[in-house]
Amino acid sequence: MDIGKVVADVINTRVSVRRYLPEMITEEEIIAILEAGRRAPSGENAQPWSFIIVKSEENKKILGQLCKRGSGRHFTGEYVTRKMQERFESLTDIQKRKRVFKKLTSGDVSAFVAEAPVLIIVIGLKNVLNTPYDCSAAIENMLIMAHAMGLGGCWVNASTLDIRDEVMLKNFFEIPNEYKVISIIAFGKPRTKHKPRPRKPLEQMVYKEKYGIKYFIGGEGCE
Ligand SMILES: Cc1cc2nc3c(=O)[nH]c(=O)nc-3n(C[C@H](O)[C@H](O)[C@H](O)COP(=O)(O)O)c2cc1C
């Protein structure tokens, strides 16, 4: 077995999954996901993260509402500042465009959180310098592990974009003040198979020695 190829395949085929089968994932799978998070690198090996596993319908509903509201506010801001219109410039089908804008500005785009079998709230110690980076490394490890086991996951920041939502979330889940809420991660069995979303080619992002001199010339490094 070429382990490099296996890892590349897992990384290259991972997608954000927002629609799940209703069945619960196993305790072994949850532990494997948490183990992957725990193994992530962190500045000075501080490991500033803690994880709250949420499975109850009542608590998932609260998180779903917070995520819907957070996304709604965020995308309404994008709409009124016309960023959204710029982002979707190439979407010329008027009806489709309307549907996409509605899904985003209503916050429905993140409401799926309430339907995910398992949610993990990732929190990080505020007094650790690298907390956002450390927790992000843990989250990516968890998403990759879930995908490697045939599960789906989605990183959701919607409920932490606005400090008012973070305060509500912290109060409800009794999170001590020394922590910052980093993100909510949804996990479950994917309802459908997804194709990976497109990525910019390396040609557009890699420079030689100093910014501006392209590392890849011609088609090299392109998808
Ligand atoms: C920091 C971060 C925050 C995200 N927040 C949300 C979110 O609030 N709601 C959501 O539906 N997806 C969220 N996502 C998922 C992204 O939309 C997704 O990763 C991106 O569109 C690329 O798609 P892919 O993961 O399928 O490759 C987030 C991803 C990251 C890394």
pLDDT at 162: 87
Answer yes or no: is pLDDT of 222 > 70: no
**Helix, strand, or coil here: 153?**
strand
Nearest to 140 by CA among 26, 21, 41, 28: 41
Q: Give residue-wise pLDDT tens across range 34-61.
A: 999 999 999 999 999 999 999 999 999 9
| Position in ligand 1 atom list of the atom nearest CA 67 | 8
Query: Which residue lies with its CA nearest to atom 20 of ligand 1?
Result: 16
**Cβ contact 71:105 at 8 Å:** no
H-type alpha helices, 106-130 = 108-111
d(CA 220, CA 223): 9
| pLDDT tens-digit map of 168-209 | 999 999 999 999 999 999 999 999 998 999 999 999 999 999
Percent share of the chain, pLDDT over 70: 97
Q: Which of 12, 156, 182 to mutate to test the pocket of ligand 1 (most atoms within 8 A of CB)?
A: 156
Which of 138, 146, 145, 148 is CA-nearest to residue 183? 138
Q: Which atom of ligand 1 is nearest to the CA of 159?
A: 8
Domains of the chain: 3-188 (3.40.109.10)
User: Tell me, what's the pLDDT at 159?
Assistant: 85
pTM attached to this predicted model: 0.94
- Tell me how far the alpha carbon of residue 159 lies from the centroid of ligand 1, in angstroms: 13
Ligand 1 neighbours (beta carbon < 6 A): 15-16, 18, 71, 109-110, 154-158, 197
Average pLDDT estimate for 155-176: 93
* pLDDT for position 1: 83
Output the pLDDT for position 223.
Answer: 45
The protein residue with its alpha carbon nearest to ligand 1, atom 9, reads 156
CA 194 to ligand 1: nearest atom? 26
Tokens of 23: 């069945």
What's the pLDDT at 161?
Answer: 86
144-173 burial, b at 16+ Cβ within 10 Å, e below that, comes to bbbbbbebbbbbbebbbebeebbebbbeee
Range 2-8 average pLDDT: 96
- How far is the C-alpha of 128 from the C-alpha of 178, rounded, in Å? 10
